[in-house]
Amino acid sequence: VNPMEKPLFELDKDEFKQEIVHHLRTTLGTSEKKASKQAWWMATCATINQMLFERLTSTQQTHLQKDTRAVHYFSAEFLMGRLTANNLHNLGLYKTCEEALKDLNLELADLCEQEPDMALGNGGLGRLAACFIDSLATLGYPALGYGLHYEHGLFRQEIRDGRQVERPDSWREYGNPWEICRPESVQEIPLYGYVETVFGEDCQVRKVWHPGRIIKGVPWDIPIVGFGAQTVNILRLWESRASNFFDWDVFNHGGYVDSQKEKAEAETISKVLYPNDETEAGKELRLVQQYFFCACSLKDIMRRYKRTHTDFKEFAAQIAVQLNDTHPTIAIPELMRELIDEEGLEWTEAWNICKQVFSYTNHTLLPEALETWPVYLFERVLPRHLEIIYEINAYFLKNEVDAKWPANNEIKRKLSIIDESNPRRVRMANLCVITSHKVNGVAEIHSKLVKEDLFPEFNQLWPDKFCNVTNGVTPRRWLLSCNQELADLFTETVGTEWPLNLDALRELAKYADDPVFQKKFMDIKLHNKEKLVKVIKAETGIDVSADAIFDIQIKRLHEYKRQQLNLLHILVLYRRLLLNPEYDIHPRVFIFGSKAAPGYRVAKDIIYAINKVGERINDDPRIKGKLKVVFMPNYRVSLAEKLIPAADVSEQISTAGYEASGTGNMKLAMNGAITIGTLDGANIEIAEEVGEDNCVIFGLTVEEVKELKARGYSPWDYYYANAEIKSALDWLDTDYFTPGRPGELQSIKKSLLDYGDTYLTLADFASYDEAHQRINSLYRDKARWAKMAIINAASVGKFNSDRSIQDYVRQIWHLDKCDIS
């Protein structure tokens, strides 16, 4: 059912209006005269929830009745952003709601701004999970998302004198209308303690874990409504609390203060999201977080399964668990423990179930991101799980590795779940690969590298285990909802089908040369840019012109993503303009949005450098406004929704081989931005789809990167050979950008020279510069540019997350769609 064609609910704007006012009075306890915007927004959400809950109930009843197989998406992160506009679009109620509010003298878009982002994720991995649960519901698959109910999501970023300052994020401070607490499904989770070996009468050995602590898990459900509102699935997030049982004990012995300490410690588990992205922290609390949400989720799965089954014979047929990276790996030994210790299954029976249930998605090849845990820590926190891991490992090394490579200790050392260095460590990725029936990468090239470079021996053992599922993004949020004018133009041109079948946008290519269509398309782009100009002014005080090229790099800050390459190029352009005021370029605004992990020094220095270089350039009258540099603070989903529709150029410039896929690249192309990118991750597939003429590719390929590294790369060669690189880097030693404080930007230069330029920034510079010159000349041909932009939007059907989900279903999950009455 397509809500763009016919209404799903018999609710006209007058009734909608009545309901909002009703909720304003009876749910929010205020009146039309006194109500704040926040109250109006909450009343609107309460109205939306009436429809949402109706569909939620029928979906959950149908899934139970039909006893459907379901996928359980285990992820430490779900980066949901805001839900109001998205829910309205998916329910087909956006226009109705907008008109109802207009009657009340309110602007829906304005009320939507009241909603805090649900920033329960770092970046790509968390946002992917959010797109996937949207697609699962849209396609009508039974699915649950399982994760953590962080009290504080990713930190809010403030910029003070050019530097990142982290402030706490409090998304629930004034309540959140989308979450429902489910006390009836609370779980109790054991931690710490010791394992007792019990010899039974039948001479059977049993293991009994005597935990040192029990934590309560409270589930909060967020309804996930698919486009068309047939299916409403659930995102279930676990909050940690002190278990009542424990509190009372201490309390009654006069330990009131101690009991408060226990309470605080228990609540710490779901208190805050770790802000690392691509770097393993190795902290005990992180392991406890992972175990906590996996154990809660598996108990929840068991409870639901037992509603319709008396033994575990059907378990693997009913339950698929997808591990979003290695973060939820502990679910594997936890399910083994539940099945063996609690349910009395035999080892091999339990192992066979686990092998069928779990599958694992790898999101990175970076060695510093691969999770390992010290054995001593495991022993203390999860003693029984360590025993189970040892047993899995022994079984694997004996029956699989030794059978294939007899008496080969080197291979055993490499494939073992235990890294025998000092201290010994548990390798979570190895446990994932050994257990899972499928292991997937997130773009073709990445999946190839997972097989060939990361896990070559595992691939020899089980060639059929490895597969690819190229990432995707939901066009409902990333086109329909965030770029409504463009969405309307598309609907006018190709019909209403495209939000469900993005390939329908191929039709647009027919109009790529049509001047009338080009004008409509580019007028919308201009309008989006004008809206962004205001946001930039409000957030940073910087004046920019919508006539300039908006060149956007938005993603977490990491050296491999190479924001420093973009900055180096800006420095070179600036210098050219100073040396030659007639230097002929179309005015350009370079826009950055990016958070750095709080402990990542170089990343924070790069943010500082961008801001300081920006200040100098933006204030320099000599360059006549031809160059502007904007760093937008606090990059997040809701800001992405404003930046992406206004982008002319999409910067996707990672060192080839390092960006697993990227998903921002897809969102930007979908909104008609031209990619300047390396042949990395999904850029390769985007270039294939839009054609090499409609994007600007530069830089070393994966093979060339490998060759150069093997030959021995020296950034100094490029520094001395390229006078512009040398001048730009030497500039950073002066106080030109930090008056009176020379050398403040030196760490950038150091990382690019003294520390070896790990990510080959200087090697790719000349090619990047040349690519930007191509962008410049292409933009000057207005018709040519419009055609490219249209073809981009027309060609990204493949990057719909619905296609990704279909790939998962066919290759990995084997689910059936379920009609909801």
From 663, 675, 678, 761, the catalytic residue? 663
Query: Do residues 353 and 312 lie in contact, with contact meaning Cβ atoms separated by under 8 Å?
Result: yes
With residues binned 3-state (H G I as helix, E B as strand, rest as coil), the percentages for the chain, rounded to 5, are 50, 15, 30
Identified binder of ligand 26M from the candidate list 81, 142, 226, 662, rule CB under 6 A: 662
First to last CA, the chain: 13
User: Regarding beta strands 213-225 and 232-242, do their DSSP bridges make them parallel or antiparallel, or are they unpaired?
Assistant: antiparallel
Q: How far apart are CA 588 and CA 546, in angstroms?
A: 10
Shortest Å distance, C-beta 324 to ligand 26M: 9
- Count of residues of this chain found to bind ligand 26M when the rule CB under 6 A is applied: 23
Q: Which range of residues in 50-58, 86-94, 117-125, 796-804 is near ligand 26M by CB under 6 A? A: 117-125
Active site residue 663: yes
- 567 in contact with ligand 26M (CB under 6 A): no
* x/- letters, 676..695, toward ligand 26M (CB under 6 A): -----x--------------
Choosing from 116, 123, 145, 190, the residue that interacts with ligand 26M (CB under 6 A) is 123
**Comparison of 114 and 289: residue with beta carbon closer to ligand 26M:** 289
Q: Which of 78, 246, 274, 765 binds ligand 26M (CB under 6 A)?
A: 274
Residues 586-645 within binding reach of ligand 26M (CB under 6 A): none
| Cis peptide leading into residue 423 (ω within 30°) | yes
Among 276, 322, 483, 540, binds ligand 26M (CB under 6 A): 276
Task: State which residue, 79 or 302, has the beta carbon closest to ligand 26M.
Answer: 79
Which of 357, 577, 660, 679 is the binder for ligand 26M (CB under 6 A)? 660
Q: How many residues does the chain have?
A: 821
Using CB under 6 A, which residues numbered 393 to 452 contact ligand 26M? 442
Q: Largest Cα–Cα distance of the chain, in whole Å?
A: 93
CB of 329 to ligand 26M, least distance (A): 12
Residue 556 annotated to the active site: yes
Give the residue ranges of DSSP H helices in 651-760: 664-670, 683-690, 702-711, 715-721, 723-731, 746-752
Q: Tokens 């880097």 correspond to what residue?
A: 729
Quick one: tokens of 447?
Answer: 């999946």
User: Which listed range, 227-235, 271-279, 546-554, 612-620, lies at the site for ligand 26M (CB under 6 A)?
Assistant: 271-279
- Among 356, 333, 253, 338, residue whose Cα is nearest residue 301: 338
Dist. CA 330–CA 389, nearest whole Å: 10
Taking the C-alpha atoms of residue 270 and residue 241, their distance in angstroms, rounded to an integer, is: 9
- Residue pair 474/134 in contact (Cβ under 8 Å)? The answer is yes
* 364 binds ligand 26M, rule: CB under 6 A: yes
E strand intervals along 283-331: 319-324
271: annotated active-site residue: no
User: Among 128, 189, 596, 647, which residue sits at the site for ligand 26M (rule: CB under 6 A)?
Assistant: 128
Three-class DSSP category at 515: helix
Beta strands in 274-415 (DSSP E): 319-324, 358-361, 372-374
Question: Closer to ligand 26M at the Cβ: 45 or 469?
Answer: 469
Under rule CB under 6 A, residue 369 binds ligand 26M: yes
Q: Find the part of the chain contacting ligand 26M (CB under 6 A) among 55-63, 568-576, 658-666, 795-803.
A: 658-666
Stretch that binds ligand 26M, among 85-93, 130-138, 272-280, 331-339 (CB under 6 A): 272-280
Helix (H) or strand (E) holding 156: strand 156-160
124 contacts ligand 26M (rule: CB under 6 A): yes
Structural tokens at position 508: 């647009």
Decide if 27 is catalytic.
Answer: no
Residue 359 is a binding residue for ligand 26M (CB under 6 A)? no
**Site stretch for ligand 26M (CB under 6 A), options 41-49, 280-288, 602-610, 639-647:** 280-288
* Catalytic residue from among 82, 152, 363, 642: 363
Question: Is 520 labeled as catalytic in the residue annotation?
Answer: no
210 strand-pairing partners: 194
268 is catalytic: no
DSSP per-residue letters across 400-445: IIHHHSTT-HHHHHHH-SEE-SSS-EEEHHHHHHHH-S-EEESSHH
Token pair 């992990």 is at which residue? 597
Looking at 84-92, 361-369, 586-594, 740-748, which segment touches ligand 26M (CB under 6 A)?
361-369
> In this chain, which of 89, 156, 299, 363 binds ligand 26M, going by CB under 6 A?
363
Q: Which residues bind ligand 26M (CB under 6 A)?
A: 122-125, 128, 274, 276-278, 280-281, 286, 363-364, 369, 442, 471, 659-663, 681
Catalytic residue numbers, as ranges: 363, 555-556, 561, 663, 667
